[in-house]
Structure formats: structure tokens, C-alpha cells
Amino acid sequence: MSFSIDISEEAGVRYLHFGSRWIQGAMRIARPWNLELEYTKEMMASLLLRDEKRFPRKVLLIGLGAASLTKFIYRNLPHAHLTIVEIEPKVVAAAQQYFKLPDDDKRIHLIIGDGAEFVLNTEKKFDLILVDGFNERAHPGELNTLPFYQVCRTRLTDQGILGVNLIGLSRGVLGGFAYILEAFDKRALMFPSCESGNVIAFATAGDEIRVDLKDMKEHAIKLKEEMGLNLLPTVTRLEQAQTCPGGILTI
């Protein structure tokens, strides 16, 4: 990769750019542990899909960006161990210098490398795999292919969930989701688009996910109280989209 890392600030928010107008990450300087961008909050909707209190224990993040998801999970899920794979060393340096990336070798395993290669070569299994890796043109490359999603499936535990940021390019979103559907035998759901245009998809191959949207809303209220994570807009969009027959989200 050959692109510049740019940092900008506006109205108390610090932004990460890869030499272009695309925002690759953001942090509200006064609240560095909170999730600032809407789509990052939506990626944590995975917490609404499992009942287990200590879910997830083992997390794989592909793409570091401004370390938003890393910091949120590190702070709010103290039982979780994080493996982070970031291909660009300059992104890691920026996260450390400007975005308060935690330094904790016991809970954070940071790998500078290719996310697709890591998934292919590791034998570890994860409760949650979050894929949010893009280049300076906002393209995911090998991270949006059928073989990649097929390998991700094999790296999930029985409770495991894959969450993918399918950035708001309609052809790319539909194409990427088609790969996910095929890799997971149609056990996937694409959430309604965020206002930002990002679309988050979740998939599982293990234990069935079956959640009443009313229960999901109650869970979302608890998460807002405990973690400051507001997923109520996500639940509302799911209700309005009517993609959950009978008010039951099933994957």
C-alpha cells in the first residue's frame, strides 16, 4: 500500500483518512472509548444476538482503523480477548499516537499482516469476527470474496458470529452479501442501511440465532445504560424493514 495517513479535527471529533475524503475512523476527543460513527455501533449489534452474558470471549477484528471497536470492546467487555489484524503499519502507528489504542499484551494481540491470509492460516476459533478493512479507495479487496467468507465460517465457534461492514456501494453491498449467503448456507441477515450508507451483515453457522425484536429492544436499553451504546435506532430500523417475520430475527 502507498497512501498517506491524514488526521483532521472538527467540532471535538478527530478523524482518520487514508489520503482521501473517505473517513476511515473517528474519535470524540472527550470520550475516546465511545463509538462515534454510527456503523461501528451497528457492528456491535452482535451483542443483541446472543444471550450469553460473557459473549464474546474471543474476538477477531480485521482492520484497525481508528481503533474504535478495539477500544469499545476492551473497555466494556473485560472478559474478551482481542486479536487484531491490520495490514498497514502506518495505521497502527496513527491509532497509537492519535486514537489512544490500548497497550495491553495480555488482552490485545496485534498482528500487522493480511487479514485474509491470517484467517486462512490460523487454527484458532472466535466467538465474534468483525470485518472492517478497506483501502484508500474504500474497497475491501480480498476481504469481500466467497473463499474468504467460507474460511471465516470455519473459524467460528458454535456461538460464533461474523459481522461485516459492507460499505454503501449498492453493487458492492449486494455482491458481498451474496458471497456471505452462499458461504453460510443462507444463514445471514443484512441489516437496513445506516444513515451513513454503511450496511452491516451478520452470519452464523453454529447455534441458531432467534431473537424476538421486543426482547432485543429491552436488551438494547440495558446496553445503552451499561455501556453508552445506543442500538435502539438499529432495532427500530429492523422493525420498520419487516425483514424479521413475526417480529422474530432468525439466522
Q: Would you state the cell numbers that stand for residue 227, as one nine-digit string?
A: 455501556
| Residue 66 belongs to some domain of the structure | yes
Q: How confident is the model at residue 19 (pLDDT cuts 50, 70, 90)?
A: low
Q: How confident is the model at residue 134 (pLDDT cuts 50, 70, 90)?
A: low
| pLDDT for the residue 141 | 59
Residue 167 contacts residue 194 (beta carbons within 8 Å): no
Q: Please confirm whether the linkage preceding 32 is cis (ω < 30° from 0).
A: no
| Residue 7 belongs to some domain of the structure | no
| Residue 191 belongs to some domain of the structure | yes
Query: Inter-axis angle of helices 213-227 and 68-76, to 10 degrees?
Result: 90
Q: How confident is the model at residue 137 (pLDDT cuts 50, 70, 90)?
A: very low
| Residue 185 belongs to some domain of the structure | yes
| Residue 102 belongs to some domain of the structure | yes
Strand partners, 243: none
| pLDDT for the residue 18 | 75
Residue 166 contacts residue 198 (beta carbons within 8 Å): yes
| Residue 251 belongs to some domain of the structure | no
Does the structure show a pLDDT above 50 at 136? no
Residues in the chain: 251
Residue 235 contacts residue 217 (beta carbons within 8 Å): yes
| Residue 1 belongs to some domain of the structure | no
CA distance 63 to 183: 21
Span 117-126, pLDDT tens digits: 999 999 999 9
CA distance 106 to 118: 20
State the CATH number of the domain containing residue 177.
Answer: 3.40.50.150
Print the domain residue range for 196: 34-208
Number of domains in the chain: 1
- Inter-residue long-range contacts of 19-25, CB under 8 Å, 24+ positions, other chains counted: 19/136, 20/136, 20/137, 20/138, 22/134, 22/136, 22/137, 22/138, 24/65, 24/66, 24/134, 25/65, 25/66, 25/67, 25/68, 25/99
SS3 129: strand
Span 194-230, pLDDT tens digits: 777 788 999 999 999 999 999 999 999 999 999 999 9
Q: Would you state the cell numbers that stand for residue 251, as one nine-digit string?
A: 439466522
| Residue 230 belongs to some domain of the structure | no
Average pLDDT, the chain: 87
Does the structure show a pLDDT above 50 at 170? no
Residue scoring higher pLDDT (79 or 36):
79
- Give percent of the chain with pLDDT exceeding 70: 91
